[in-house]
A and B are shown apart, each in its own frame.
Chain A
Amino acid sequence: MLRILCFVVAAVVSSITFADVSAVYGFDDRSEEQRYQNLIAELRCPKCQNQNIADSNSPISKDMRNAVYQMMLEGASDQEIVDSLVGRFGEFVKYKPDLDSRTFMLWATPAIAVLGGLIVVAGIVVRSRRTGTAAPTLSAEEQARIDKMLAEKNRNGSA
């Protein structure tokens, strides 16, 4: 019960902040508003560096949201809007940088890590299979000892 209550309170509170941000700007239709929300979610605040401009309350984020809105009213494409902000604040404001020689490692690292992990797993599997098929061989003496022990165990068990 308490858990549900917490969830409801959290949902209500978060919808208030959402309404606060979107209430400033009016949009003719739903898709434009969605476009605006996507844009401000992908742009990073240069002042408070771990927030996007949708989340951030800093004055510069407010200015950037305003600029995005104004440019949308003037009919700019997403690319034009992002480029214009990058031209002012630098590549930094994009949460998804373009793939080029500088950002190659950034994009490739996850793939390299996954590939490396697969190679290690494959190596372990192959090796365990190879050692698993070769059954340990026992000398005649050891075999005799095991036979004796098993026979003893059977006798005890049946008794």
Chain B
Amino acid sequence: MKRFLLFLPLLAAIIVGVVLFAGIGKDPTKLDSALIGKPVPAFSLRDLKQPETTLDEAVFRGEITLLNVWGTWCPSCRDEHDDLMWLAREKKVSIIGLNYKDNRDDALVWLDRLGDPYSKVIYDPKGTLGFDLGVYGAPETFVIDASGVVRYRHVGVVNGDVWERVLMPVINDARENG
């Protein structure tokens, strides 16, 4: 009995070690979206590029799209912009932009200067759709399937590595299990 007690601290240390080890490499700032498996929330907002046109959740029907949340105030969005251009051009990915808490003139200058990877851009100056999507910081990128259901949310910059490792598998899965 006494000898067993001597091993208690070792046992406790091993348990604590296993628990802590499981947490290594996990980024606590990356949260799963609460909307996974649910349709994109209803909205009615103007098109950034054609101010007279109103867009709603129907824009996500028909094909698998990436919904990219961006703003000209967001430095990381500048960082990922070239990768989005590459995805749209080389990989033929359909990307819909959500211009989040921004102003139209700045956003149009940005697209003019850096190129436009978006098939459509939803203009959300007050961040209402962003709020309904649970966006808590740009850039965020959602994978939305052909029936308008959210499949995945990536928080942070999209680049070649994220595309290969994270987004492409989700898209392939959405394509197969349509």
Identify which of B26-34, B77-85, B102-110, B158-166 touches chain A.
B26-34
In the complex, how many residues of chain A place their beta carbon closer than 8 angstroms to a beta carbon of chain B?
14
- Contact indicator A90/B32 (Cβ below 8 Å): yes
- Contact indicator B33/A90 (Cβ below 8 Å): yes
The minimal Cβ–Cβ distance linking B118 to chain A, given in whole angstroms, is 23
Is A57 part of the binding interface, using a Cβ–Cβ cutoff of 8 Å?
no
Contacts of A87 in B (CB 8 A): 34
Is B75 part of the binding interface, using a Cβ–Cβ cutoff of 8 Å?
no
Query: Bound complex: CA of A67 vs CA of B34, how far in Å?
Result: 17
Q: Please tell me the size bucket of the interface on B.
A: 10 to 19
Given contacts A88-B35, A89-B34, is CB(A46)–CB(B28) below 8 Å?
no
- Contact indicator A46/B34 (Cβ below 8 Å): no
- Contact indicator A90/B134 (Cβ below 8 Å): yes
Query: Among A49, A63, A91, which residue has its beta carbon within 8 angstroms of that of B131?
Result: A63
The minimal Cβ–Cβ distance linking B11 to chain A, given in whole angstroms, is 12
Query: Bound complex: CA of A60 vs CA of B127, how far in Å?
Result: 10
Query: Among B28, B29, B127, B136, which residue has its beta carbon within 8 angstroms of that of A89?
Result: B136
Query: Bound complex: CA of A19 vs CA of B32, how far in Å?
Result: 34
Query: Bound complex: CA of A89 vs CA of B133, how far in Å?
Result: 8
Is A96 part of the binding interface, using a Cβ–Cβ cutoff of 8 Å?
no
Is A86 part of the binding interface, using a Cβ–Cβ cutoff of 8 Å?
yes
| Residues 95-144 (chain A) with a chain B CB within 8 angstroms | none
For this complex, 25 residue pairs linking A to B, each with C-beta atoms less than 8 Å apart, are A46-B136, A47-B137, A49-B28, A49-B29, A59-B101, A59-B127, A60-B135, A60-B137, A63-B127, A63-B131, A67-B131, A86-B34, A87-B34, A88-B34, A88-B131, A88-B133, A88-B134, A89-B31, A89-B34, A89-B134, A90-B32, A90-B33, A90-B134, A91-B34, A92-B31
Q: List 20 additional A-B contacts (Cβ < 8 Å) besides A89-B31, A90-B34.
A: A46-B134, A46-B136, A47-B137, A49-B29, A59-B101, A60-B137, A63-B131, A67-B131, A86-B34, A87-B34, A88-B34, A88-B35, A88-B131, A88-B133, A88-B134, A89-B34, A89-B134, A90-B32, A90-B134, A92-B31
